């Protein structure tokens, strides 16, 4: 529930900040919201942690997992990262015009053999999921989900851990 409140709060501030390039607002409880029109991002800092939502919230080179070479951040650039006392996480949505099978084959050659958790096809859509690590302790768990239609393949990378 907290994440949905935070996302709603962030969306509100992105809309409000559309007229400025960089704006910081501090609420009565000490929550700081910084919007940056240039980065198209919002950073929320509370006593519980920090979340950044926007185009460049995730540095692909620091994910610690393979990123498909022809993938680009989705139109609108959805990505988010957060840290808190319990750990942190990152999520980024990517896409490519490469066929699902090409992306799937590349990931199966890049991740451990036991990482593949599922692969399904329904009509002209396909989906596969890979999980690396278990998320316990400092071992960050990362899920890579690829889904394809006839014109593009989407890649969602979610990483959690301390």
In whole angstroms, give the CA distance from residue 115 to residue 131: 5
| Cβ-contact 23, 68 below 8 angstroms | no
pTM: predicted TM-score of the whole model, two decimal places:
0.76
> Mean pLDDT: which of 22-31, 37-46, 147-156 is highest?
147-156
Q: Give pLDDT, residue 8.
A: 41
CATH of the domain spanning 55-161, picked from 3.40.1000, 2.60.120, 3.40.50, 1.10.10: 2.60.120
Least confident of 9-18, 56-65, 95-104, 141-150: 9-18
Tokens at 30, concatenated = 């000490």
- The three-class DSSP label of residue 35 is strand
> How much is the mean pLDDT over the chain?
80
Q: Is the pLDDT of residue 14 over 50?
A: no
Beta strands 125-132 and 116-122: pairing type?
antiparallel
Tens digits of residue pLDDT in 65-85:
899 998 988 766 678 888 888
In whole angstroms, give the CA distance from residue 160 to residue 139: 9
Tens digits of residue pLDDT in 123-139:
889 999 999 986 555 55
Domain ranges across the chain: 1-48, 55-161
| Cβ-contact 121, 88 below 8 angstroms | no
CB-based burial, 44-61: b 16+ in 10 Å, e otherwise: bbbeeeebbbbbbbbebe
Among 72, 79, 67, 129, smallest CA distance to 96 is for: 72
Tokens at 87, concatenated = 């750990």
Among 57, 40, 86, smallest CA distance to 157 is for: 57
């Amino acid at each position: 529930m907290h994440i949905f409140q935070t996302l709603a709060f962030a969306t509100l501030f992105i809309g409000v900040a559309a007229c400025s390039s960089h704006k910081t607002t501090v609420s009565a409880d000490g929550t700081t919201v910084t919007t940056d029109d240039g980065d198209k991002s919002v950073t929320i800092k509370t006593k519980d942690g920090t979340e950044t939502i926007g185009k460049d919230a995730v540095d692909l080179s620091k994910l610690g997992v393979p990123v498909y070479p022809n993938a680009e951040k989705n139109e609108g650039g959805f990505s988010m990262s957060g840290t808190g006392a319990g750990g942190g996480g990152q999520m980024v949505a990517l896409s490519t015009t490469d066929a699902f099978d090409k992306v799937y084959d590349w990931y199966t050659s890049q991740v451990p053999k036991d990482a593949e958790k599922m692969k399904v096809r329904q009509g002209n859509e396909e989906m596969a999921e890979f999980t690396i690590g278990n998320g316990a302790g400092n071992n960050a768990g990362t899920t890579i989900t690829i889904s394809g239609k006839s014109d593009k393949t989407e890649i969602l990378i979610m990483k959690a851990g301390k």
